Amino acid sequence: MSESVLKTLVIYTIILVTAVALAVVLILIPAYVHYGESHIPGSYNAMYLSKYSPYKTIVVEIDYQPGMEPAPETVEALQQQIEMYSGKEVLIYLDQDIEDEEVPPVIYGDDLFKTTSMLQEQNRDHWTGWFGGNITLYILYLDTVWHPDDQDYSSHMPAASTNLYSVGVTYAADSIIIFKSSLPQNDIETTILLHELGHIWGFGHTNESGNIMNAEFEVYTNGPSPDDVVETQYPKEFGPAQKEELARLHETMHILPLFN
């Protein structure tokens, strides 16, 4: 083989390897992040929390049906918790753009996720950037009752429930549903939303009583007794081990789901 042919071969090989590497970095990894395993709750946790994340602003879009607006103190607590653990700017957009006709009064099992993708398609205004910029957390506040059937959603779609109904579910790496009309009339809403935020950040359920990631919330419509302080039933912050994990995620350099 002559020297010039060898040289050409080497040059072509370098070009090919560079092109493949570029494709991986510019197309395959972002595509994986957006469409792959990342739909599992928790797989965006370091992108939300790491100080090395290319996403500098967290945009929380809350779309709700008429009458289902989140409580102001719940929105405030959500913003405060995300800011505290991510160290990022948090912008919250509230939008009553879901029509009652779009949502069935009762939803069974997997039908929830068909309804949800339709609602997203028609109402969502903010999306996570391809390479950086904004990362979105999408929250739906719905006026419906969800019966999850007998299926086990514990690994992919954890649901918080009261002794009456499912009240919240995290169904993707960046998406939460709150069943506002299934919530009892007390201050449990903040706890439920922060519990779902815990799934977004990668936490599973715990049996530890009084921990925000316990999936079963004891509910008293008017308080256990008129003299009891109901607020003490519902934790509004994460436990010590969870706080430690959030601090670790903030320091992690591995922001892709692949390496968590």
- Tell me the window of 61-69, 155-163, 183-191, 247-255 that interacts with Zn ion (CB under 5 A): 155-163
Q: Minimal distance in Å, beta carbon 106 to Zn ion?
A: 21
Q: What is residue 36's three-state secondary structure?
A: coil
Residue 47 CA to residue 54 CA, distance in Å, equals: 8
- Tell me the window of 77-85, 101-109, 135-143, 158-166 that interacts with Zn ion (CB under 5 A): 158-166
Query: At residue 49, what are phi and psi to the nearest 5 degrees?
Result: -105, -30
Residues 6 or more apart from 53 whose CB is under 8 A from it? 46, 47, 88, 135, 255
Which of 47, 59, 160, 249: binder of Zn ion (CB under 5 A)? 160
188 forms part of the interface with Zn ion (CB under 5 A): no
Site for Zn ion in 79-98 (CB under 5 A): none
Q: Minimal distance in Å, beta carbon 45 to Zn ion?
A: 15
200 forms part of the interface with Zn ion (CB under 5 A): no
- Judged by beta carbon, residue 44 or residue 55, the one nearer Zn ion is 44
Which of 158, 202, 235, 239: binder of Zn ion (CB under 5 A)? 158
Residue nearest Zn ion, CB atom distance: 158
- Judged by beta carbon, residue 158 or residue 235, the one nearer Zn ion is 158
Burial label for 66, CB within 10 Å (0-12, 13-18, 19+), is exposed
Amino acid type, 223: G
CB 199 within 8 A of CB 170: yes
- Judged by beta carbon, residue 193 or residue 255, the one nearer Zn ion is 193
The runs of H, that is alpha helices, within the chain are 3-23, 29-35, 45-49, 72-86, 111-123, 188-200, 240-251
- Tell me the window of 57-65, 154-162, 179-187, 226-234 that interacts with Zn ion (CB under 5 A): 154-162
Site string for Zn ion, 201-220 (x = CB under 5 A): --------------x-----
| CA dist 219 → 2, 82, 87, 148 (Å) | 82, 26, 33, 19
- Tell me the window of 4-12, 36-44, 47-55, 150-158 that interacts with Zn ion (CB under 5 A): 150-158
Q: Which residues bind Zn ion (CB under 5 A)?
A: 158, 160, 215
